[in-house]
Homo-oligomer: A and B are copies of this chain.
Amino acid sequence: MDSQGFREAAATAIDDIASYYDNLDDRDVVSTVEPGYLRKLLPSEAPVEGEAWTDIHKDMEGKILPGITHWQHPGFHAFFPCATSYPSLLGELYSAALPAAAFNWICSPAVTELETIVLDWLAKVLGLPECYLSTGPTRGGGVIQGSASEAVLVAMVAARDKYLRETVPLDQFPEGSEAREDAIAHKRSKMVALATSATHSSTKKASIISAVRFHTIPVHADTGYSLTGPVLAKTLAELRARGLEPFFMTATLGTTDTCAVDDFAGIVSTLKSDPVHPAGTPGELWVHIDAAYAGSALVLPSVQEQVTISLIENFHSFNMNMHKWLLTNFDASCLFVRDRNWFIQALTINQAVYGNKASEGGLVTDYREWMIPLGRRFRSLKIWFVLRSYGVKGLQEYISRTLKLGEEFADSLKSRPDLFEILTGPSFTLTVFRVAGKEQGKSEEELNALTKAVCEKINASGRMWVTSTVLDGMFAIRLMTGVSTTEKEHVDRSWKILVEAAEEVLKA
């Protein structure tokens, strides 16, 4: 394919994409193919001779789109959103056209510099404390990771190494000695990472990868599924009584199941008065804030205040995924750290082939020292396009609009207490609910079965998709309204489908 062929093929692709979005509501939300559908449609080997674009192109609609679940569909209320927008698409397009392994500054200075700049822009928009800016007093800054799972892994590895540096004294166990290896191995075997039962599974996965213990702190309805200071204090004491050493915790701003927010003020207060390693002293607990989804709502000053975001100056790292709820394509997981040296000390490896004057002079940021991979895509471009195209006001309007839809949906649920019981929310557009009937004496088993039946019925409509979860043994439906194409009319339609399904199920 030459440049003329590309111009023509790309014109068809752009037309496909614009038409896809213009007519998205005509499609069913969830793919209905059977497992293995595609293998039946494709040859078992790559073609020997090259094929024409027209042949490849027609398979997009004919073979691929039937197997797509449409995350931008206005009836997509499942999980959290996986965002895109037209400006973001343009950013992805230029980014793909300018590939560079970009593992250090000279590999493409713009890739590094734009990342630092737009993450400072973003930190300001989200109201993060100054210590998370690259220009801040503590040498902090942001880096774009591929996913929140990578972000939490990087934070945990940095925390593990910081803790070991601070608690295995160099004078007693000299650098490079066998005694130090042994002391570290022994210490590491006692180290434990904490998360609550509502924390995303990525923290547990990070603990497996980085070879530390993992402890789950149960949270229940009584605290709104969020972690409080006293519960943390009790957990720390219990773990230490067992000879374990807590070194890391993920606290969440918007949990997966219910969008709960952990009690930042309570956590700060507990850690300041920690009897063993008070905050700010060697061996302190590293607190990572996972705001993967709900962090986007921080574009609203009212939300910044509501969740007391200023308190994260007491914590160590913070991540939010613009690719969830801020109109930017996956992958755009923005990770901020209060002191970039924590990352660099844990992850830097020098090899002669990467040597260059700018890096050696310390003039530039080499983001490979802030993450697992060496190479990286030009991901800041789409963020830059989104921030500029929408402007802060445009992002605020979008988030406000989707929050309002979530409230309206919850109001509808409340208007039919005969049919539904809200378990949590609305919180950041997410409401978690189940079929009503507890007061009429229905058992938990019956309620679970009825709610499951309603869930399956509405999903079978093709017009909407919700996912479910289990809260303290209660099967529940999660419904969120954060997708950019979702408007009032779609939420009203989903509500109507839901009411009909519940009435039918309860009648049966």
Contact = CB atoms under 8 A, between A and B. Distances in A.
A133 B292 CA distance: 35
A298 interface: no
A6 B18 contact: yes
Nearest to A456: B357
Interface in A91-121: 92-94, 96-101, 105-111, 113-114, 116-118, 120-121
The quantity of this chain's copies bound in the complex is 2
A56 B38 CA distance: 40
A418 B259 CA distance: 71
16 contacts: A3-B19, A3-B21, A3-B86, A9-B86, A10-B14, A33-B109, A36-B113, A38-B114, A51-B391, A53-B87, A64-B110, A71-B99, A147-B375, A149-B373, A157-B208, A201-B349
Interface stretch (A76-84, A262-270, A436-444): A76-84
Interface stretch (A227-235, A274-282, A305-313, A381-389): A381-389
A411 interface: no
Contact of A125 (B1, B46, B110, B182): B46
A280 to B, nearest CB: 26
A7 interface: yes
A37 B363 CA distance: 12
A86 B346 CA distance: 39
Interface in A351-370: 351-353, 355, 358, 363-364
A71 B373 contact: no
A374 B67 contact: no
A189 B148 CA distance: 28
Interface string A146-165: 11111001000100100000
Contacts of A72: 99
A50 B372 contact: no
Given A47-B391, A210-B211, A35 B86 contact: no
Nearest to A118: B46
A89 interface: yes
Contact of A68 (B17, B108, B391, B470): B108
B48 A22 contact: no
